[in-house]
Amino acid sequence: MNKFFTISGVSILMLFFAAICIAEDNALLTIPIRDISDVLTTDNISSDEKYVVAVNNRAACVWEIATGKELHQLGGDACVMTVLFSPDGKKLITANFDGTARIYDTVTGKELLILKGHKRVLFSAVFSPDGKLALTTSGSEEDCSARIWDAKTGEKLHVLQIVTEQNKFSLMYGAFFSHDGKLVLTRSFGKPSMTIWDTQTGAKLQEPIGRIGLLARIDSPAIFFEGKLLLRDTSTNVRVWDTILEKEINVFDVQLTGPGSVLFSPDGKLIAVTDYKTPAIIDSKTGKTLKKLEGHTEMVLSAAEFSPDGKLILTSSYDCTARIWDAATGKELKKIEGHTKALNSANFSKSGNLIMTRSWDNTAKIWEVSKLLKNKEQSL
């Protein structure tokens, strides 16, 4: 119950620091976002970079990036909580307040499947990396489960539940697949805070010590690399859990001072650590701090994310800006301005060509990375 209050407290803190900013806006597209429950990720931009999807006014809204035209408003009757594209961008999946997940055709907006079985509100719904499976999570006391589904037929394949020491089911509030889709990681309130499952069998495999971090993106496979799982603990440490050996293999004391996230670089050699105003890059083998990303003037609580080629890092802050950094040198390459209130997320598209930022000013913006960096070069 205390963690529920923690989440509420974080939301209040975000609003408190949502300072008004005035800055030049060079965004490719600006879309309205009225529902703060939805967490935007890489999969809110289609893989072909033609479309963007987000929750607005309880519906899943699809926009065409090139024209800014809104194409569809989907699932409003179900009260949409989250929405994401499939890996190929041809479908999208919603998690809904009515306890269903729904799969739609991106271009036509046609409803293809309704996944029924959960008793109450869904917290998340995602596709597997190959798009063949869907994974849903309900955190209501009446349900307390994650479920794996056949994304083509709608067949329920596995129900994942955790029994606590009090012989009750643990409330789950997020689940996602590993990069290769072989594992599922679920997050729960209480102990264990996370559990690893076998995707094919639905069997519970491990309960790692530690946590991902309260504000970590629950769908981010970047916490996995070649069987290794990144975790935060309740002190100042980053922990590395080996999912093959089923044990902890490293503990790095990086002097963390607050909530935040830890993510691998694409090659697994680096770890980006988010810690209030100054994110850092550390060596994944030694835990040595290599660079500190200094420039934000207010808190940075969302994940510091590597670009797909590993050359750039993207951060967002309550100072109303997102920033692009050189991953090798730690040098700030571009300060992205245009939002009028604090940012709570920033993500690269799968190709790394686009960036999506999300703000408490009730908008999300799409930016072209090449233009941002070109403008930076011209200003030097």
First to last CA, the chain: 52
Kind of pairing between the strands at 51-56 and 59-64: antiparallel
Collapse the DSSP code of 52 into the 3-class scheme (helix H, G, I; strand E, B; otherwise coil) and give the result.
strand
**Domains in the chain, start-ordered, CATH in brackets?**
1-32+217-380 (2.130.10.10)
pLDDT at position 294 over 70: yes
Q: How far apart are CA 194 and CA 178, in angstroms?
A: 14
Residue 75, C-beta contacts closer than 8 angstroms, at least 6 positions apart: 59, 60, 83, 94, 96, 102, 104
pLDDT digits (tens, 9 = 90+) for 33-83: 875 555 678 899 999 999 999 998 889 999 999 999 999 999 988 899 999
DSSP 269-291: SEEEE--TT--EEEETTT--EEE
pLDDT digits (tens, 9 = 90+) for 308-327: 999 999 999 999 999 999 99
Instruction: Report the mean per-residue pLDDT for the chain.
Output: 84
In this prediction, residue 4 has a pLDDT band, given cuts at 50, 70 and 90, of very low
Burial grade of 245 (CB within 10 A; 0-12, 13-18, 19 or more): exposed
- In angstroms, what is the C-alpha Rg of the chain? 20
The torsion angles phi and psi of 342, rounded to 5 degrees, stand at -55, 145
Q: How far apart are CA 357 and CA 30, in angstroms?
A: 10
The pTM score is: 0.86
The answer to whether 358 touches 366, Cβ cutoff 8 Å, is no
